[in-house]
């Protein structure tokens, strides 16, 4: 392998793996187009956030150890998700206060973990993508990506290079959509209220598509859009950047291509 070829371990994320492999393949395409060699460690399952946020530190530590082991030999670890990348980058190091060897390994891993779009922009210095998408989109800033990893300008910069695409902002782009992992099923009325505020703001922009960088948000928003009967497509930003928006949108029927 040439020294200039970044060696990337793809952290697929459990939701992409289960619900929308297209996003994983879009991530691979974007990384390979940018000159990376991409491997997918086969033992990965989940970053452990569900356990972490439920207060189950022991399970989180176990899962974190297997993630560290599976990924630490790569030059970079990239995830199409701000919350999963944030988990690896910001929270894993805090799990090993009384295990200094693991703490060091987690720190080393954290230093090379990135959310996908910010990796393309900030590390690989990608400024444009070859993609086209006819129509207007609005962008939802997933909380963890925004506040833990400073993902904000990068997706907008790359979207600006997509032919035919217009970005229309909604005022509450940085307000939580109400997913929050198990929050959405433990406190469903609050969650439904929050996601309804989000869909109302999205619909008010007139955009035909909403994009975000996290599957949790996207499933939540798509589910509410569908229940409310709106005709707004929901996609992961990677799909549009990788020129894969010909597939059915999230929650859309199999024959729909818009």
Among positions 185-224, residues that touch other proteins (CB under 8 A) are: 185-195, 197, 219-220, 222-224
Helix (H) or strand (E) holding 163: strand 163-167
Nearer of residues 155 and 251 to other proteins, judged by Cβ: 251
Q: Is residue 45 at the binding interface for other proteins, with CB under 8 A as the rule? A: yes
72 binds other proteins (CB under 8 A): no
CB of 148 to other proteins, least distance (A): 7
Q: How far apart are CA 232 and CA 218, in angstroms?
A: 12
Task: Please list every residue from 7 through 36 that binds other proteins, using CB under 8 A.
Answer: 7, 12, 14, 16-22, 24-25
Q: Which stretch binds other proteins (CB under 8 A): 56-64, 106-114, 116-124, 125-133?
A: 56-64
For β-strands 76-79 and 113-115, DSSP reports them as parallel
**Candidate list 132, 163, 169, 256; residue touching other proteins; CB under 8 A:** 256
Q: Which of 82, 93, 155, 251 binds other proteins (CB under 8 A)?
A: 251
145 near other proteins, rule: CB under 8 A: no
CA torsion through residues 135, 33, 22, 110, sign: negative
Phi, psi for 108 (deg, rounded to 5): -60, -40
Least distance from other proteins to the Cβ atom of residue 130, Å:
22
Tell me the three state secondary structure of residue 32: helix
Residue 169 contacts other proteins per CB under 8 A: no
Smallest gap from Cβ 207 to other proteins, in A, equals 19
Tokens of 216: 């949790």
The full DSSP string for 80-138 is S-HHHHHIIIIIGGGGGTT-HHHHHHHHHHHHTEEEHHHIIIIIS-------EEEEEEE
- Per rule CB under 8 A, is residue 183 in the interface with other proteins? yes
| 149 interacts with other proteins by CB under 8 A | no
């Amino acid at each position: 392998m040439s020294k200039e070829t970044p060696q990337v371990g793809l952290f697929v994320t459990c939701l992409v793996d289960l619900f929308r492999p297209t996003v994983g393949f879009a991530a691979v395409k974007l990384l390979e187009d940018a000159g990376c060699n991409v491997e997918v460690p086969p033992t990965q399952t989940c970053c452990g956030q569900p356990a972490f946020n439920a207060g189950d530190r022991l399970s989180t530590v176990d899962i974190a150890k297997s993630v560290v082991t599976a990924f630490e030999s790569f030059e970079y670890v990239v995830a199409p998700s701000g919350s999963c990348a944030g988990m690896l980058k910001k929270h894993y190091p805090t799990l090993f206060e009384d295990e200094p060897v693991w703490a060091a390994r987690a720190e080393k891993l954290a230093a090379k973990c990135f959310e996908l779009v910010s990796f393309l922009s900030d590390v690989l210095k990608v400024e444009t993508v070859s993609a086209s998408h006819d129509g207007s989109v609005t962008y939802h800033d997933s909380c963890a990506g925004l506040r833990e990893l400073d993902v904000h300008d990068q997706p907008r910069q790359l979207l600006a290079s997509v032919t035919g695409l217009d970005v229309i902002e909604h005022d509450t782009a940085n307000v939580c959509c109400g997913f929050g992992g198990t929050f959405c099923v433990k406190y469903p009325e609050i969650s439904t209220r929050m996601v309804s505020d989000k869909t109302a703001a999205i619909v008010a922009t007139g955009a035909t598509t909403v994009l975000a960088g996290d599957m949790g948000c996207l499933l939540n928003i798509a589910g509410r859009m569908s229940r409310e009967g709106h005709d707004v497509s929901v996609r992961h930003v990677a799909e549009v950047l990788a020129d894969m928006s010909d597939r059915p949108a999230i929650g859309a029927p199999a024959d729909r291509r818009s």
